[in-house]
């Protein structure tokens, strides 16, 4: 269903929105992120407004035990992902407005998406962040390290040795907690 909603949203976001709104089933909420990510790439402001409406509706209609805090976080992540696909700078600006742990999570996510396109732009992005958020953003790149060789153009960027050497260009206090997973991938690839 997730794939169907993603495809539907890509061609008819309003139709997908009507479907989701007309079926008030808690089980459908898990597909909201697929919908929001696609819709935010077309109409970020409308998608953001819809998110706010859904969060408010969930808070009003669910039982107190329902995990309402996960919904806003997941929807915001999906929204930033969609916004990033259409406007990198807008996603970066939005990420800069978020503070605390949530800001760290979004900076990490944006760094990951940006790294695939340009490690140098990612470096600039990370260095533009306040110093207390840089390590979290840098850590967002480490999951890309992949010991498997796919034989495509992204192999260089995903290779653990490339990512490790790229991370080492930052001060040690920024990478000392996050480079371990990259080194582990590298070790499995080439001891």
Residue 169 CA to residue 112 CA, distance in Å, equals 17
Confidence of residue 154 (pLDDT cuts 50, 70, 90): low
Single pTM value for the model: 0.80
Residue 8: closest CA among 33, 32, 50, 38: 38
| Percent of the chain whose pLDDT exceeds 90 | 47
Chain segment 24-42, per-residue pLDDT in tens:
677 777 788 888 888 898 8
What does the alpha-carbon distance between residue 19 and residue 191 come to, in Å, rounded to a whole number? 52
- pLDDT band of residue 158 (cuts 50, 70, 90) is confident
pLDDT at 47 over 70: yes
Eight-state DSSP code of residue 147: S
For the four alpha carbons of 86, 89, 93 and 99, in that order, the dihedral sign comes to positive
190 vs 149 pLDDT, higher one: 190
> Residues 84-109: pLDDT tens digits?
999 999 999 999 889 899 999 999 99
Q: Measuring CA to CA, which residue among 37, 41, 75 is closest to residue 55?
A: 75
**Would you state the structure tokens that stand for residue 18, as one six-digit string?**
């009507």
Mean pLDDT of 32-53: 88
């Amino acid at each position: 269903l997730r794939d169907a909603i993603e495809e539907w949203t890509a061609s008819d976001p309003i139709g997908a929105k009507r479907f989701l709104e007309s079926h008030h089933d808690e089980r459908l909420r898990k597909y909201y992120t697929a919908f929001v990510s696609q819709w935010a790439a077309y109409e970020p402001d409308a998608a953001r407004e819809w998110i706010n409406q859904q969060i408010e509706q969930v808070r009003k209609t669910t039982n107190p035990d329902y995990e309402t805090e996960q919904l806003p976080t997941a929807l915001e992540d999906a929204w930033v992902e969609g916004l990033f696909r259409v406007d990198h700078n807008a996603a970066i600006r939005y990420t800069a407005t978020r503070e605390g742990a949530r800001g760290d999570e979004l900076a990490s996510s944006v760094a990951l998406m940006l790294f695939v396109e340009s490690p140098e732009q990612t470096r600039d992005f990370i260095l533009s962040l306040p110093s207390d958020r840089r390590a979290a953003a840098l850590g967002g790149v480490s999951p890309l390290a992949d010991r498997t060789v796919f034989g495509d153009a992204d192999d260089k960027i995903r290779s653990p040795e490339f990512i490790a050497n790229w991370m080492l260009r930052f001060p040690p206090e920024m990478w000392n907690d996050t480079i371990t997973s990259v080194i582990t991938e590298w070790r499995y690839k080439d001891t």
